[in-house]
């Protein structure tokens, strides 16, 4: 059996590896996870998880979405609302209200938010439609496979043309492009 020091709790005798020994209390688990090799490993795993491409892409997408919302808001307030006001007589709906039993309902703010939502949804629809067209254009070419005899010169020539080795046997080599 090995002796594993765990700070103020003394030693715990265990046959399991050091990374699987846990202190007897929740406070002990927190204390041990910060000061043992397991804790350093856990912090490294957390850093690796944070640095994964997917999480960074989501963060960048969120920042872009917030900036896009500001652009749509400015477009709605400065261009669309005055056009609607020129046609309908009211440039901004924020002041439109009605009162029932001393309760004020500001339906104009809802109309402004609805206009902003419709514009945002339409622009996102156009962006997704364009992205869909670009994805279809890229995915049109199917993967090609060939079988070559084991010949170094021929394999080098195929490699220069963009072919990759998938598998190899004594009879030949399977390549894909």
The whole-number pLDDT of residue 32 equals 47
**Residue ranges of the chain whose pLDDT lies below 50:** 1-4, 6-7, 9, 11-23, 25-33
Q: In the chain, what are the domains? A: 2-50 (no CATH), 53-138 (1.10.1200.120), 145-176 (no CATH)
Placement of tokens 């995915």 in the chain = 139
pTM: 0.42
Residue 65 pLDDT: 87
């Amino acid at each position: 059996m090995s002796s594993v020091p765990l700070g103020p709790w003394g030693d715990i005798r265990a046959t399991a590896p050091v990374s699987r020994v846990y202190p007897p209390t929740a406070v002990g688990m927190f204390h041990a996870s910060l000061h043992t090799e397991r804790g350093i490993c856990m912090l490294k795993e957390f850093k690796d998880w944070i640095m994964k491409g997917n999480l960074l892409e989501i963060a960048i997408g969120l920042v872009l979405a917030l900036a896009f919302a500001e652009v749509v808001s400015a477009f709605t307030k400065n261009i669309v609302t005055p056009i609607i006001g020129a046609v309908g007589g009211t440039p901004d709906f924020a002041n439109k209200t009605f009162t029932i039993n001393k309760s004020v309902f500001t339906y104009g703010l809802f109309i402004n938010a609805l206009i902003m939502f419709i514009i945002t949804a339409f622009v996102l629809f156009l962006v997704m439609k364009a992205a869909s067209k670009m994805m279809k254009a890229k995915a049109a070419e199917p993967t090609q496979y060939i079988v070559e005899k084991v010949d170094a010169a021929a394999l080098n020539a195929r490699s220069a043309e963009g072919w990759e080795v998938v598998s190899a046997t004594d009879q030949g080599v399977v390549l894909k492009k």
